[in-house]
Chain A
Amino acid sequence: MSQPLWNAIVRHLVLVGVAVSLAALFAVPLGIACSGRPRLAAGLLYVNGLIMTIPSVALYGLMMPVLALAGRGIGAIPAVIALFLYSQLPMLRNTIVGLRNVDPAVVDAARGMGMNPLRLLFAVRLPLAFPLIMAGIRSSAVMGVGVAAIAAYIGAGGLGTYIMLGISNSNRELILTGAVSTTLMALALDLCLGAAQKRLERRVGMAP
């Protein structure tokens, strides 16, 4: 594998990794906070749904003049911000749904046994919602790999650079190199996160 391609892969992974991690650190607590407030949850999900409908190229374009004020109109910063925003919906929705779907009998039993709300959250509700929360993180990550490819147009680097150059130079090999690598990365990332999820679930007894 050539050195530039390797660099592009690493850069792509870092973009997605940083953005999705930050997004998870934000969306999961937010989901926990509003899981007991159905109106707030519905509002947040609606706003996030709206964000999802904005095409990524358009989002980059919209952010450019705003971020340009801080001298950051192009490059990695706007790419991470866009990835962060797109990642919110799956994670937020899955956290809320996951917590809401915990068997009410289990929650009732836990409260009736004298668990305080914090203990109930960490010992019962979060472990039981974990598979869904993790599924949200996985779909965000897979989607993020795709969205990050387009960030090449605003100079964020990564595998999208190959596709962009390939298109402008009518070079089929370059396009294929970028596209196939992106797809493989998305698949590999999903597999890795899936394996990590299984491992964690087994540790807390959720999976046989």
Chain B
Amino acid sequence: MTGVFSGEPHIVLENVGKTFENGAAAVRGLSLKVYRGETLVLIGPSGCGKTTTLRLVNRLVEPTEGRILFDGENTLDMNPDRLRQRMGYVIQGIGLFPHMSVEDNVAVVPRLKKMPRQAVKETVARCLDLVGLPIQAWGKRWPRELSGGQRQRVGVARALAGDPEVILMDEPFGAVDPLTREVLQDELLALRERLGKTIVFVTHDIHEAMKMGDRVAVMKGGELVQVGEPLALLSRPADNFVADFVGADNHLAMFSFVKVKDVPPRTENLPVVGERATFGEALDLVERTGIQYGRRRSVYVVDASGRVLGYADLEGIRGKADPVRAALKPAPSVAPESSVHDALLRMVENGVINLLVLDENRRMKGLLTFGDLNRLIENQRRGEGCTSIP
């Protein structure tokens, strides 16, 4: 999903302003487009107007200036209840109805939309399944019987149940512990890949913003300061405020949202041999690749169909004519979709400086070297961002 969204805008805010009755301006001159299928994160310090902006979209707050187009139609011309039924809504306090069972909570919007009884049942079962709470086991439970993380999952299921075109999320994971939050974030990312919904996501946690957002909009004092892809904000912050806020010099933060495939890993001149190769052949190859190996040189061994069997340590060689298969060990690897942060962890855990990148069929997609990570940081420092992202 990463990349520039050239698609049509789904929600358009045109010069939108909101001044409350007491004269306080919560949002000023805000122009912003949310493209179909993207996740746009609104972030800023408290009081910056990010929540108000979200509530302007579903008209829980009405704009005093400008206009908001949803699917090309001015939201002020639409029935607000209908509009909201087309947008899922998840808030920090979750707001599950304590007097309704889990399944009744999820059924609210389908019933508001007057879906037939059987269809409501199927929708509820499907949505609870999506968030990992099968209806047979969880449907009849009460919200008070659930943990914080489970409640949040029900909140997401409830937002999905109306088959909304857009999902609005206001600090949805703000009230759960950090571990659960990570899990919920990963689940939402996976769901997003599957469902392809447009998401507007409010948070004050820059880490979360960078992880979840295709694009991130930074707000301050009711105004939009900068909107762009996470790496663009890091490498080309519009001003000192954005630079401080995103932590432009914080490489570890960057590691948690750059994916391995975006580094990108090296794909040529790899130390790979067939299963019949000998140590002698392997040593020759290793010298030619010019890769740094740290303390122990090694080669990866693939079978005839290209599947990786493991790696062979070349330091404990017995004879140059022996087959490398004799020294085969499972190779530490990482998926192309994993974060660089995870890859780095795996390197440290296994005491290696190169990491195999494997797809789900155990085919080699490349080699992530420590040098690649160094280059990423260097590019970052020079303001070039990630090489594969324009």
Contact = CB atoms under 8 A, between A and B. Distances in A.
B95 A127 contact: no
A105 B175 CA distance: 13
Interface in B40-69: 58, 60
Contacts of A108: 60, 91, 93, 95
Contacts of A124: 97, 99
Interface in B88-132: 89, 91-101, 108-109, 112
Given A105-B93, A105-B94, A204-B99, A112 B142 contact: no
Given A104-B93, A110-B97, A115-B81, 9 more contacts: A108-B91, A109-B94, A111-B60, A113-B84, A114-B82, A114-B112, A115-B108, A119-B112, A205-B99
Given A105-B93, A124-B97, A205-B100, A112 B162 contact: no
Contacts of B60: 108, 111-112
Interface-centre pick from B89, B94, B99 (highest chain A CB count, 10 A): B99
Contact of A103 (B81, B93, B112, B162): B93
B81 A114 contact: yes
Given A105-B94, A113-B108, A205 B142 contact: yes
Contact of B95 (A110, A116, A204): A110
Interface string B368-379: 000000000000
A206 B98 contact: yes
B83 interface: yes
A112 B86 CA distance: 10
13 contacts: A108-B60, A109-B94, A111-B84, A112-B89, A113-B85, A114-B162, A115-B108, A124-B97, A128-B99, A205-B99, A205-B100, A205-B101, A208-B142
B168 interface: yes
A93 to B, nearest CB: 22
A105 B84 contact: no
Contact of A106 (B97, B101, B158): B97
Contacts, number: 73
A109 B101 CA distance: 16
Interface string A56-86: 0000000000000000000000000000000
A204 B98 CA distance: 10
Contact of B84 (A103, A112, A119, A204): A112
A110 B89 CA distance: 9
A106 B98 contact: yes
A113 B93 contact: no
Interface in A185-208: 204-206, 208
Given A105-B94, A108-B60, A108-B91, A113 B99 contact: no
A129 to B, nearest CB: 10
B336 to A, nearest CB: 37
B95 A109 contact: yes
A197 B96 CA distance: 23
B83 A114 contact: yes
A75 B136 CA distance: 61
A108 B170 CA distance: 11
B109 A206 contact: no
A111 B91 CA distance: 12
Nearest to B175: A105
B99 A103 contact: no
A206 B83 CA distance: 30
Interface string B158-173: 1000100000100000
B99 A105 contact: no
A113 B112 contact: yes
